[in-house]
Amino acid sequence: MSVDAEVVVIGGGVMGTATAWQLARRGVDVVLVERFGIGHRYGASHGTSRNFNLGYEDPTLLAWLHEAAADWRELERVTGAQLLTRTGIVNHGPGRDYASAAVDIAAGGFLTEMLDAAEAARRWPGLRFDGPALYTPEAGRLHADRAVLAFSSAAAKLGARVLAETRVVAGAVLDDRVNLVVRDAGGVEHTLTARRAVVTSGAWTTDVLAALGATFALPPLRVTQEQPATFAALAPAPEHWPGFNHAPSPDDPTTAWFPTAVYGMGVPGEGVKAGWHGVGPVVHPDRRTYLPEPALAESVRRYAREWLPGVDADRGVEISCTYTSTPDAAFALDRVGPVALGAGFSGHGFKFAPTIGRVLADLVTR
């Protein structure tokens, strides 16, 4: 049997490029196939900002964050790209027990600091607080566009072959290999055979699995079009803002109207980003409108007016992206036969990308 690669990775967003890098670091012969261009803006991996949030209570995820932080720094070292900025993140709102969370986060090896509302407001006058806040100073902000390009270029320097503008149109999964038919930008079809495949296709996951004829016991994957907004900062400048998470409670009249929790961060050169988690309309990624849903846009502006005194709530620019979510926001990481799958990152997976890449590399090289 002849093969074109040991492993083919299908999908070149942050998870696919991270997986290609982790495989190439091990000397594995890997081909990365991306339907669009590397760094495209049709899915979930584009833009300039993602929170590197440490506010987890699961010890496994906290351990993964330590691993990811080390690999983000390694990726910076080998590419020269600035990716992770330690801004700190402040967590507040009546919907979470922050004292308990602080104990778990500290047990996971990260610094924590509990503040009352007055001290939090003194430190971060651009944010409004009405209760205790949990600050994680080692948290920060990732530059998404740079990250995807850095993973891809680092993988290529180690020998990975990157096939951009190349779409998987058909395939067959056998016991010992995966046969693909791919179509390039010129419309020409080619065959590609690999001993193993990794599917990291984000919002297109179910389409790619169907094209391959691969079957996984997946939780339902819900694809939504999300629309955070970036608001003009009044003070301080965006680069001096921490990231923030705001958890509502249905029993609290000031937050009961929130559709879900809020996340945000300062974005140098752009303003202050804020958005809801996973409440946008369900879409197919090839049939998105990219147009903001008016009620959600107004609700984000209302949040800015009520809770972000450091921004101009009337000067906001909506951003369009996708979430691919599982019912419990847990990641789907699995292997069946020669095919491994990474999916369902539920709007909080980006920070874990180096570690997700390592897990998927483990699945196809064991």
Segment 226-271, tens digit of pLDDT: 999 999 999 899 999 999 999 999 999 999 999 999 999 999 999 9
pLDDT in tens, 53-88: 999 999 999 999 999 999 999 999 999 999 999 999
Shortest CA distance to 273 belongs to which of 143, 154, 153? Answer: 143
- Report if pTM > 0.85: yes
Note the pLDDT tens digit of each residue in 173-205.
999 999 999 999 999 999 999 999 999 999 999
In a domain, 72, yes or no: no
Whether 266 is in a domain gets the answer no
* Residue pair 331/344 in contact by the 8 Å Cβ criterion: yes
CA-to-CA distance for 257 and 50, rounded, in angstroms? 25
Whether residue 205 is contained in a domain is answered as yes
The rounded percent of the chain whose pLDDT value lies above 90 is 99
The per-residue pLDDT for 1 is 43
Mean pLDDT of the chain: 97
- 32, part of any domain: yes
Residue 227, in any domain of the structure: no
Q: What is the pLDDT of residue 2?
A: 60
- Beta strand 133-136 with 113-115 is antiparallel
Mean pLDDT of the region 8-25: 98
Does residue 264 contact residue 273 with C-beta atoms inside 8 Å? yes
Tens digit of each residue's pLDDT (9 = 90 or more) over 144-176: 999 999 999 999 999 999 999 999 999 999 999
Q: What is the pLDDT of residues 80-131, one digit of tens each?
A: 999 999 999 999 999 999 999 999 999 999 999 999 999 999 999 999 999 9
- In this predicted structure, what is the pLDDT of residue 366? 86
Separation in Å, CA 284 to CA 199, 203, 346? 18, 8, 16
Within a domain: 5: yes
Separation CA 355–CA 111 (nearest Å): 21
Please report, rounded to a whole number, the percentage of residues in the chain having pLDDT higher than 70.
Answer: 99
CB-based contact 89:112 (threshold 8 Å): no
Cα diameter, the chain: 69
Average pLDDT over residues 311-329: 97
Q: What is the Cα–Cα distance from 261 to 277, expressed in whole angstroms? A: 6
What integer pLDDT is reported at residue 354 of this predicted model?
98
Is residue 168 included in any domain, yes or no? Answer: yes
Rounded CA separation 350/151 (Å)? 13
Query: What is the domain-level CATH number for residue 170?
Result: 3.50.50.60
Look at residue 359 and give its three-state secondary structure.
helix
Residue 82's CB is within 10 A of a number of other CB atoms, namely 10
Three-class SS state of 331: coil
Domain count, the chain: 1
Domain-embedded: residue 163: yes
DSSP 91-154: EESTTS-HHHHHHHHHHTT---EEE-HHHHHHH-TTS--SS-EEEETT-EEE-HHHHHHHHHHH
How many other β-carbons are positioned within 10 Å of the β-carbon of residue 282? 8
- Give the structural domain span for 7: 1-48+143-220+328-366
